[in-house]
């Protein structure tokens, strides 16, 4: 029996999970609400909150999984990419835990882990498959050839998809993080009410900064012409913006699937929780004859279950690291 402890601390979620023989038994996530009043994640505060949260989160994950800490076979942690001060907390904890129990240490790339969340539940995608990873910091089209063999086909040239949601929310006067709120308001809005531009970026790369500027000018102009416009049309604006972000993502996904000739297609990362993207992918999958893979909501945004499952596959391969391992703010696939 292989019991793996997974630790995630790359941004503003402190999370710990237990995986037993490839099945997730617990996944504890401590959200940091302290950043809301600053309109974004404050790195120093995130790091301090991780320090406060990490031991209770790990203790709870062990308790909920009904295992004994002496039976844990290995500890997997997020090495990067992310905020260095945040990553340091998870990395140091994982090292100390592994050292104290004389068990192996496993380093995990956070962006690979988002994709490997698809191996938590059945059915799982078959290699090679295509994954669109969309989070607060990244937008990547990835050809997944094996658990840890991934080829980056395209990525954003400026803002990430999650940033496009969050920055739009800020323009619309919504609190941080605005992605989930835009999703909620969009549900009873008319997506055809307003049209926002689709950037013409060649190949499989993305760009979202032009869209952000277009939304800013649109809102300013409308408010000037009709004061109170935004309040009156908030739901329609959210639905129209969301529909454009989703169409930008899905158009590139379609192009990538054609280019590499695969029919198993997945989405991952925080923005894969977006209902417009989820529904859009299902419809596109039916049209294109794809098998589509969409993570459960709790495995879209940052969580340690994805670190633990990735750790399990490295454990099987005997892929361990020494205690001189350091976290990486930038860490390519
Ligand atoms: O993967 P994640 O939890 O953290 C990073 O690794 O960045 O992604 C967070 C991002 C944020 O930008 C958040 O606004 C966005 O995911 N997000 C959403 C939704 N839920 C989370 N964006 C749109 N609709 C949602 N339902
Ligand atoms: Zn993430």
Secondary structure, 3-state, the chain: CCEEEEEECCCCEEEEEEEECCEEEEEEEEECHHHHHHCCCCHHHHHHHHHHHHHHHHHHHHHHHCCCHHHCCEEEEEEECCCHHHHHHHHHHHHHHHHHHCCCEEEEEHHHHHHHHHHCCCCCCCCCEEEEEECCCCEEEEEEEECCEEEEEEEECCCCHHHHHHHHHHHCCCCCCCHHHHHHHHCCCCCCCCCCCCCCCCCCCECCHHHHHHHHHHHHHHHHHCCCHHHHHHHHHHHHHHHHHHHHHHHHHHHHHHHHCCCEEEEECHHHHCHHHHHHHHHHHHHHCCEEECCCHHHCCCCCHHHHHHHHHHHHHCCCECCCCCCCCCCCC
- Ligand 2: centre distance to CA 259 (Å): 26
- Ligand 2: centre distance to CA 170 (Å): 20
Based on the fold, state whether residues 190 and 154 are members of the same structural domain: yes
Residue range of the domain that includes 275? 126-295
At 1-11, the pLDDT tens digits run: 999 999 999 99
Confidence at residue 284, expressed as pLDDT on a 0 to 100 scale? 98
Confidence at residue 149, expressed as pLDDT on a 0 to 100 scale? 98
Based on the fold, state whether residues 165 and 229 are members of the same structural domain: yes
At 293-303, the pLDDT tens digits run: 999 999 999 99
The reply to whether ligand 1 has any atom less than 6 angstroms from the CB of 136 is yes
Based on the fold, state whether residues 85 and 152 are members of the same structural domain: no
Average pLDDT of every residue of the chain: 96
Atom of ligand 1 nearest to the CA of 301: 3
- Ligand 2: centre distance to CA 268 (Å): 9
Based on the fold, state whether residues 173 and 205 are members of the same structural domain: yes
Q: What is the mean pLDDT of residues 192-207?
A: 96
Based on the fold, state whether residues 214 and 250 are members of the same structural domain: yes
Q: What is the mean pLDDT of residues 210-235?
A: 96
Q: What is the mean pLDDT of residues 38-47?
A: 86
Report yes or no on 325 lying in a domain. Answer: no
Residue 297: nearest ligand to its CA?
1
Cβ neighbours around 66 below 10 Å, total: 10
Confidence at residue 41, expressed as pLDDT on a 0 to 100 scale? 86
pLDDT over 90 percentage in the chain: 95
Show Cβ contacts of residue 291 under 8 Å, excluding neighbours closer than 6 positions: 125, 263, 264, 265, 285
Report yes or no on 121 lying in a domain. Answer: no
Q: Whose CA is nearest to atom 20 of ligand 1?
A: 180
* 31 band by pLDDT with thresholds 50, 70 and 90: confident
Sheet strand arrangement including 74-80: 23-31, 13-20, 3-8, 74-80, 105-109
Say whether 110 counts as a known binding-site residue.
yes
At 68-81, the pLDDT tens digits run: 999 999 999 999 99
Taking a C-beta distance cutoff of 8 angstroms, is the pair 55, 66 a contact?
no
Confidence at residue 327, expressed as pLDDT on a 0 to 100 scale? 98
Based on the fold, state whether residues 309 and 205 are members of the same structural domain: no
Confidence at residue 162, expressed as pLDDT on a 0 to 100 scale? 96
Residue 304 has pLDDT above 90, yes or no: yes
Report yes or no on 264 lying in a domain. Answer: yes
Residue 32 has pLDDT above 90, yes or no: no
Based on the fold, state whether residues 289 and 225 are members of the same structural domain: yes
Based on the fold, state whether residues 80 and 194 are members of the same structural domain: no
Confidence at residue 196, expressed as pLDDT on a 0 to 100 scale? 97
Confidence at residue 14, expressed as pLDDT on a 0 to 100 scale? 96
């Amino acid at each position: 029996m292989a019991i793996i402890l997974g630790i995630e601390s790359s941004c503003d979620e402190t999370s710990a999970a237990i995986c037993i023989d490839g099945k997730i038994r617990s996944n504890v996530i401590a959200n940091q609400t302290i950043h809301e009043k600053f309109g974004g994640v404050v790195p120093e505060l995130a790091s301090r909150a991780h320090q406060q949260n990490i031991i209770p989160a790990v203790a709870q994950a062990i308790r909920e999984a009904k295992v004994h800490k002496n039976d844990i076979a290995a500890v997997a942690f997020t090495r990067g990419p992310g905020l260095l001060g945040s990553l340091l907390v998870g990395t140091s904890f994982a090292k100390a835990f592994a050292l104290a129990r004389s068990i192996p240490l496993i380093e995990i790339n956070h962006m690979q882990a988002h994709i490997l969340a698809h191996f938590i539940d059945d059915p799982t995608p078959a290699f090679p498959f295509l994954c669109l990873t969309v989070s607060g910091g990244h937008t990547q089209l990835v050809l997944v050839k094996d658990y840890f063999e991934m080829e980056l086909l395209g990525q954003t040239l400026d803002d990430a998809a999650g940033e496009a949601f969050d920055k739009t929310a800020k323009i619309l006067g919504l609190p941080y993080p605005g992605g989930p709120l835009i999703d909620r308001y969009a549900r009873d809005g008319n997506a055809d009410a307003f049209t926002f531009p689709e950037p013409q970026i060649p190949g499989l790369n993305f760009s979202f900064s032009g869209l952000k500027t277009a939304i800013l000018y649109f809102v300013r102009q409308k408010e000037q012409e009709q004061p109170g416009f935004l309040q009156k049309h908030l739901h329609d604006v959210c639905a129209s913006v969301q529909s454009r972000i989703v169409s930008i993502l899905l158009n590139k996904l379609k192009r990538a699937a054609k280019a590499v000739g695969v029919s198993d297609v997945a989405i991952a990362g925080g923005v894969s929780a977006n209902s417009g993207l989820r529904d859009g992918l299902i419809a596109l999958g039916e049209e294109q004859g794809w098998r589509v893979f969409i993570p459960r909501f709790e495995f879209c945004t940052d969580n340690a279950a994805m670190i633990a499952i990735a750790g399990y596959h490295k454990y099987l391969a005997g892929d361990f690291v020494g205690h001189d391992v350091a976290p990486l703010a930038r860490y390519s696939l």
